[in-house]
Structure 1
Amino acid sequence: MTLKAVVTGCGAYLPEHVLTNVDLAKKVDTSDEWIRERTGIRERRIAGPGERTSDLAVNAARAAMRAADVNPADIDLIIVATTTPDLTFPATAAIVQAKLGVLQGAAFDIQAVCTGFIYALATAEKFLVSGQHRRALVIGAETFSRILDWSDRATCVLFGDGAGAFVVEAIPEEAAGERGVIASYLRTDGSLVDLLYVDGGVSSTGQVGHVRMQGNKVFREAIERISEAMTTVSRQAGISPTEIDWFVPHQANERIIQGVVKKLDLRPDQVVSTIAGQGNTSAASIPLAYCQGVADGRIKKGDLVMIEGMGGGLTWGAALLRA
């Protein structure tokens, strides 16, 4: 029996506290206009004191499970994409599993920074279509505010906190029809690690560290590599990128998104963008944007959706799915 990995529900969670550009202008040498012109961001959400990455993940996961009409007993795989885990170990996914009351299956983290959700979804798809697992929670969750240098205006204005989740189910091809994950593409170039990284770690400094970025170089790499990933995935699926219904990008920078749209001849009205109100939530940004598209009625069952990401490593990738 041939199985397909189908997204049957999605959920989102954003912390309550809103940090605006005007608020940031009181902390560093910047302005609302400067940030909006260069990034498209107006505000972002910041996790409250005591609010952990696992807490954000659990809230998003519960929303996704409600949307898919499943309960904890139905889940046998949890993959959390995060760069900001609760603890060095165990995996945040294990903590999420316990908080959700999922008593079976496997749970582990994936760390590919802003591409993490693509990596997590592609990994879950392989487990599901092989028949090894039946129903997965794929979660992107971040508290990036905890690793920002709030005196560095080049990075502290970009990021926010949040979580998004998919329920992905193994469904026989006859029942799934055209729905499901169609193709994915993952890449890493470790020679570019110095373009975007955190200057700390357990075996290096013994400290958490802060985000460091060569923004102009990241910008140049992003448009080329994201376009490459989307073109490759489209080729695998036997379509042109212009044939998709919706483009759900990693919400890194509005100028990067528009650069990809222009390079691949997409229409601006195909883009699902949340960057203005959420900033860059790293591994959470793709499911957060996808869920927004579902919630507002744009993404409907049967639509062809392209998702993509690029992050530190450098890592990049894309996936094509039919909702």
Structure 2
Amino acid sequence: MTIRAVVRGVGHYLPERVVPNSEFEKTLDTSDEWIRSRSGIERRHFAAEGEATSDLATHAARAALRDAGLEPQDIDAIVVATSTPDFTFPSVATMVQGNLGMTSGFAFDVQAVCAGFVFALSNANAMIQTGQARRVLVIGAETFSRIMDWTDRGTCVLFGDGAGALVLEAQEGTGTNADRGILSMDLNSDGRHRDILYVDGGPSSNQSTGVLRMQGKEVFRHAIEKLAQTAHTSLARAGLSPEDVTWIVPHQANLRIIKGTAQKMGLDMDRVVVTVQDHGNTSAASIPLALSVGKERGQIHEGDVIVTEAIGGGLAWGSVVLRW
């Protein structure tokens, strides 16, 4: 008997405030055309004053639980991927646990920046396969608007806030790639490249929150090659090929990266779920957001083979292959 971590439910949440590209024209030397041509982004959502990452995560968690037909007490563990926690500690995950009224189980955060949700899925999958948990709520949630340098037109126009969540459940499988659930994964990091994407603050360095710094050209250079490579590795581990893929659901950072990765994998864009135009880069939230929106649009159906892949600061990157 093989235990698989199967998607039981999915949900997302976006803050009410929608910020179109034109809003940046008031304060920066930029334009809607400039932002669209370089990123594919048209708008993004920003959290309201007093609205924290844990609030976004809780909304997404409740949506995923509704979709799964489950109650908070049915969940054994919560894993939240985020780089923008409410506080240095406690974790966002324990705050979500409290918000949901869960008095049992356990909760913790994972920090791998934009690749965070892939790393969180890997952790949840391991807990399910080893019997440590039967149902795990996996959440990606970010408020990147809180760590922007609003004078840097190369970064502040790219990011948005949001949250997405999956409920993973242990189910019996056959041990073949015909099973539903997570089939394979690939995780990587290389700390030599940490200076091309980072936040210039922290409690043990300068006791500040800091703001995001990015060498965009360098990140772009690494992204397409590493994302295509990790996707191929995960597919090979699952005994699948790009031809078997129903949907790529990539980290939604930049439309040019998304297109370049699909091309390098030999897949047409009509097999890629794209939401970056509406959400911007929501870091660890972007993949679960896209999965939830993809299902809501009627794109994703049971039995579909999905590849998710992401790269973020660290550098950290990885991919997961799952059958919906």
Give TM class, smaller chain: over 0.9
Judge conservation of contact 1:242–1:264 (CA < 8 Å) in 2. Answer: no
Q: 2: CA distance between counterparts of 1:102 and 1:29? A: 48
Aligned to 1:45: 45
Aligned to 2:246: 245
**TM-score after normalising by structure 2:** 0.98
Q: 1: CA distance between counterparts of 2:206 and 2:175? A: 52
Please identify runs of 4+ aligned residues in structure 1 that moved more than 3 A.
174-177
Q: How does 1:189-268 map to 2 (within 5 A)?
A: 189-268=190-269
Q: How does 1:162-177 map to 2 (within 5 A)?
A: 162-173=162-173
Q: CA deviation at 1:174?
A: 5.8
Q: 3-state DSSP class of the match of 1:154?
A: coil
The size of the alignment, in residue pairs, is 323
Q: 2: CA distance between counterparts of 1:296 and 1:45? A: 19
Matched to 2:26, the amino acid is K
Q: How does 1:79-158 map to 2 (within 5 A)?
A: 79-158=79-158
Q: 2: CA distance between counterparts of 1:76 and 1:16? A: 31
1:73-96 CA distances to partner (integer Å, 9 max, x unpaired)? 100110000000011011110000
1:194-238 CA distances to partner (integer Å, 9 max, x unpaired)? 000000000011110000000000000000100110010011011
Q: CA deviation at 1:317?
A: 0.3
Q: 2: CA distance between counterparts of 1:281 and 1:120? A: 16
Matched to 1:192, the amino acid is H
Judge conservation of contact 1:137–1:166 (CA < 8 Å) in 2. Answer: yes
Matched to 1:185, the amino acid is D
Matched to 2:296, the amino acid is A
Q: 2: CA distance between counterparts of 1:207 and 1:183? A: 38
1:36-84 CA distances to partner (integer Å, 9 max, x unpaired)? 0000000000000000000000000000000001101100110000000
Moved more, 234-243 or 173-182: 173-182
1:91-129 CA distances to partner (integer Å, 9 max, x unpaired)? 110000000111111100000000000000011000001
Judge conservation of contact 1:41–1:278 (CA < 8 Å) in 2. Answer: yes
Q: CA deviation at 1:12?
A: 0.5
Q: 3-state DSSP class of the match of 1:227?
A: helix
Q: 2: CA distance between counterparts of 1:72 and 1:248? A: 27
Aligned to 1:275: 276
Aligned to 1:308: 309
Q: 2: CA distance between counterparts of 1:222 and 1:175? A: 32
Q: CA deviation at 1:242?
A: 2.8
Q: 1: CA distance between counterparts of 2:243 and 2:139? A: 28
Q: 2: CA distance between counterparts of 1:89 and 1:241? A: 41
Judge conservation of contact 1:140–1:164 (CA < 8 Å) in 2. Answer: yes
Matched to 1:15, the amino acid is P
Q: CA deviation at 1:296?
A: 1.0
Aligned to 1:64: 64
Judge conservation of contact 1:230–1:318 (CA < 8 Å) in 2. Answer: yes
**TM-score after normalising by structure 1:** 0.98
Asked if 1:35 is matched to 2:48, the reply is no
Q: CA deviation at 1:175?
A: 12
Matched to 2:251, the amino acid is H
Structure 1 136/189 Cα, relative in aligned 2: closer, same or farther at 3 Å?
same
Q: Which runs of 5+ in 2 are unaligned?
A: none
